[in-house]
Homo-oligomer: A and B are copies of this chain.
Amino acid sequence: MADVAREVGASTITVSRALRRPEMVSEGLRQRIAVAVEELGYLPDPAARALASRRSNVIGVLIPSVTNNVFADVLAGLYDTVGGTAYNVQLGNTRYDTQVEEDLVRIFLSQRPAGLIVAGVDQSPASRRLLQQAECPVVQIMELARDPIDMLVGFSHRDAARAATEHLLDRGYRVPAFIGARMDPRSERRRAGFCDAIRAADPRARIRELTTNEPSSVRLGGALFDRLRADAPEIDAVFCNNDDLALGAQFAAQRAGLRIGPDIGICGFNDLEVMSAAHPAITSVRTFRREMGEIALQRLLARIEGADDPSEAVVDLSWRLEPRSSTDRG
């Protein structure tokens, strides 16, 4: 930066201002500085900036998993939106553990981040407190809640699951069951939505379900489906916690010689691309994962850049049922 300043015959602080608040520097100087920066290939040192301004350019993102398709999509939205800005996304993998999450919150906060995005609304009390006292904006994503820490972008898993289950009942299935893996808070809410729908139809109905805390996979979906049918042969539809399980259930049903749709209804959750391309196509609840990442980051950046007005502190992205052949009794 000193070089640039020398080049144009100005002080370093003026160069600094030309880069960060161009409107504070006269037209001519600004241009000459821009030229010199380009010529010299000057790139500001983020560490020095962070130290001097007591605020880093890091957007901390806390998610429970990196591999999971759902979060991969959220991340894609995040990275797309952060690309081109002066900010950097920094991921923290909480591994579905609130204690790990709390540690990461502390570590992130020690960097004086520009903003924080955290998945879910079930932080530990200590995390919540830390985040509330943070002097940077915070966005919770994935879910809806009555008492956001700061901002919130998500949708109601419970409502979505309830709608999916109602769809099964509407289509004439009598005994839908719930298949769940990796029972995190969001999965539990989907399960609750399933129960809502079942009980609304028949308050005395028995809830048929099979859940596990193992990470979900296609193979596991098949295994759970087979076990569930062995225990409860009367079931004629399954609402799966997520699309991987649904795909696995469909494969298992096909192996068992069942006709997908007429003999067994299958519904997934998230509507990954594969669902509509499968044979037969699988009904699912579409969620707006990429958009969640984009919007969360947009809100965050708006606040960082000074928009104090939290006009829309909570954004409900909702969901959309996508009925397909797998729940068509024909």
Contacts and interface: CB of A to CB of B under 8 A. Distances in A.
A89 B93 CA distance: 11
A273 B67 CA distance: 12
Nearest to A72: B72
Interface string A193-208: 0000000000000000
Contact of A111 (B46, B69, B90): B46
Interface string A240-280: 00001001101110110000000000000000011011110
Q: Interface of chain A, helix or strand or loop or mixed? A: helix
A66 B93 CA distance: 15
A152 B93 CA distance: 26
Contacts of A252: 279
Contacts of A50: 47
A273 to B, nearest CB: 5
A218 interface: yes
A170 B41 CA distance: 56
A76 B83 contact: no
Contacts of A51: 45, 47-48, 51
A108 B88 CA distance: 11
Contacts of A56: 47
A151 to B, nearest CB: 23
A219 interface: yes
Nearest to A89: B91
A114 B218 CA distance: 38
Contacts of A217: 273, 277
Given A67-B73, A73-B67, A75-B66, A111 B274 contact: no
A90 B276 CA distance: 34
A107 B273 contact: no
A107 B82 CA distance: 14
A217 B276 CA distance: 11
Contacts of A69: 69, 72
Given A247-B274, A248-B277, 11 more contacts: A43-B110, A47-B56, A66-B72, A66-B79, A67-B72, A67-B75, A83-B93, A217-B277, A222-B277, A251-B279, A254-B279
The 9 closest A-B pairs by CB, nearest first: A47-B50, A43-B110, A218-B277, A251-B279, A219-B277, A67-B76, A47-B51, A218-B274, A254-B279
27 contacts: A41-B106, A43-B107, A45-B110, A45-B112, A46-B110, A46-B111, A67-B75, A67-B76, A69-B69, A79-B91, A79-B93, A83-B93, A88-B90, A217-B277, A218-B274, A218-B277, A219-B273, A219-B276, A219-B277, A221-B277, A222-B277, A244-B274, A250-B279, A251-B277, A251-B279, A254-B279, A274-B274
